[in-house]
Chain A
């Protein structure tokens, strides 16, 4: 297995009086797509938000590219080279698609070659480039949210349930986009409940339950072992 780009060691997170993450250990190998699976309420989103600094870990270490980032501010963590695609997509509805991307390209003007590359796997985005993001459909917003995360090269991309509620044709688009990103060597940590989507993309997998990691391994091994998958994931995950 490649060197870990991101490591969580015994990470605990409290939100108010709730103890959500209860000692999470994950390695995200460099240049791979790691899928974080688990039922609703297992703590997957909290794990991503804790990595991003949106919630502070109460205990444990988060090491990114050899640097401890646990407890640092969100902007500092983002500037280390981590991009975040939240579950709600987080697009700025009052801004146009172009303006959303301008803000995401914080190092300067948008690189037109990179934009064309993004248009390659999200061709419809070119047509609504000048539109306010608020008028877009869910799938179009998801495209924008991912485009915003990759408009400049980032070392690690955290993606929270990108396929949730989207039409199959849009999900196909997303699969192609992530496959393309993988080809560029980008490291991705993907939270997902759609097992088909996850299994088509994942290299490694971690399964969460009740705020802990209960399984780590390769996606191929999990996909090929029905009994283990049923035991770990139950019936709540979408397998179609």
Chain B
């Protein structure tokens, strides 16, 4: 290496970095718009907490899927299988731990949940690895085949659940310490919803930490944007993708467990039921964007809860309308990832 020649004076201006905060304002805007329609501030707070809890669960389920799509352009309609299998694995693990679940000790209650969630995540992570190897790998770059084969994978998984766990609806009770609500003034805050919010925020913080502060995270972000260039730098994007797929499947298992406990019932079709919301979330958030996915989850859940109370008849359509409105405003989603 030799010394460079004297530099040419820099004439170009320093680029300005613009922060895109406009989509974030949708959350307070929707919340404040709902307040007069709901009427009672107490009900509004309850609905908002419920929405945040639901949003966090949807985020946990969706976050892996959005990265899977962004990284390898893979449309995985079979993601619902991991949600369902995770919930059933948790149900199985919780059965022998009923003593801990019913104990008057919050620590034991949480320990039981931790064991169940760990089992669900390990199981769905392993299932995700097998799913990627057997079902996804042969159809890289072929969207139509991906849709068909992953939907087929979801159907097979649901039928296998019927075989192993039976076709009837299962009850999955909350642990004793997480039943009921904490009353603050006139507002009742359900304990499990608060836990769901905390878990969702923890997962989001962990993901942002990994994506922004580690080399693996930088590689994932770079790969979402331009996987070919990541390979040209000497990194094997397929291995990275498998890792993300496994992590995303494990998160779906965690989300499925949380969702089942939230509903306190469980059927094999639980994944298929929530997957529509999941796809709405990743589309409005911006494909491949974890931040967009987080915001999209909160918006979808808020709208579902508010319209469910204000005008139940339009609750089902509200999220489709939200998606249409957002895509008309920002066709690439709220926080689009730069793509080559």
Contact = CB atoms under 8 A, between A and B. Distances in A.
A120 interface: yes
Contacts of B219: 103
Contact of B232 (A52, A114, A120): A52
A173 B338 contact: no
Contact of B233 (A88, A104, A169): A104
Contacts of A88: 340
A73 interface: yes
B104 interface: no
B12 interface: yes
Nearest to A99: B218
A92 B3 contact: no
B79 interface: no
A103 B236 CA distance: 13
A102 B5 contact: no
Nearest to B288: A94
A112 interface: no
The CB with the most chain B CB atoms within 10 A, among A121, A124, A127, A184, is that of: A124
Nearest to B7: A123
A3 interface: no
> What range describes how many residues of A lie at the interface?
35 or more
A121 B7 CA distance: 6
Contacts, number: 111
Interface string A125-168: 00110011011110110000000100000000000000000000
B7 A93 contact: no
B2 to A, nearest CB: 5
B243 to A, nearest CB: 15
B228 interface: yes
Contacts of B340: 88, 90
Given A86-B232, A93-B225, A114 B1 contact: yes
Interface string B220-234: 011011101111111
Interface string A82-98: 00101010101111000
B10 to A, nearest CB: 4
A172 interface: yes
Interface string B225-257: 110111111111100000000000000000000
The CB with the most chain A CB atoms within 10 A, among B2, B4, B235, B236, is that of: B4
B239 to A, nearest CB: 9
Interface string B1-41: 11111011011101111100000000000000000000000
Contacts of B47: none
B207 to A, nearest CB: 15
B15 A136 contact: yes
A93 to B, nearest CB: 4
Interface residues of B, number: 36
Nearest to B4: A120
A176 B235 contact: no
Contact of A92 (B2, B18, B226): B226
A106 to B, nearest CB: 5
A240 interface: no
The CB with the most chain B CB atoms within 10 A, among A52, A93, A148, A173, is that of: A93
B215 interface: yes
Contact of A94 (B7, B8, B12, B225): B225
A184 B16 contact: no
B221 A95 contact: yes
Given A95-B222, A121-B7, A184-B1, A140 B15 contact: yes
Contacts of B229: 86, 90, 92
Nearest to B212: A99
A220 interface: no
A100 B11 CA distance: 23
A73 B233 CA distance: 12
Contacts of B11: 169
B20 to A, nearest CB: 11
Interface string A51-88: 01010000000000000000001110011000010101
A106 B235 contact: yes
B7 A131 contact: no
A180 B10 contact: no
Contacts of B1: 113-114, 117, 184
Contacts of A231: none
B220 to A, nearest CB: 11
B266 interface: no
B136 interface: no
A184 B5 CA distance: 13
Given A94-B225, A95-B218, A128-B14, 13 more contacts: A78-B234, A90-B228, A94-B221, A94-B338, A99-B218, A103-B230, A121-B4, A123-B8, A131-B15, A131-B17, A140-B15, A148-B233, A173-B8
Interface of B: 1-5, 7-8, 10-12, 14-18, 215, 218-219, 221-222, 224-226, 228-237, 337-338, 340
Which 8 pairs show the lowest CB-CB distances between chains A and B? Answer: A120-B4, A93-B338, A78-B234, A124-B10, A123-B7, A90-B229, A135-B15, A74-B231
22 contacts: A54-B232, A73-B231, A73-B236, A75-B231, A75-B235, A90-B232, A93-B225, A94-B224, A94-B337, A95-B222, A102-B215, A103-B215, A121-B5, A123-B7, A131-B17, A135-B16, A135-B17, A135-B18, A148-B233, A170-B12, A172-B8, A173-B8
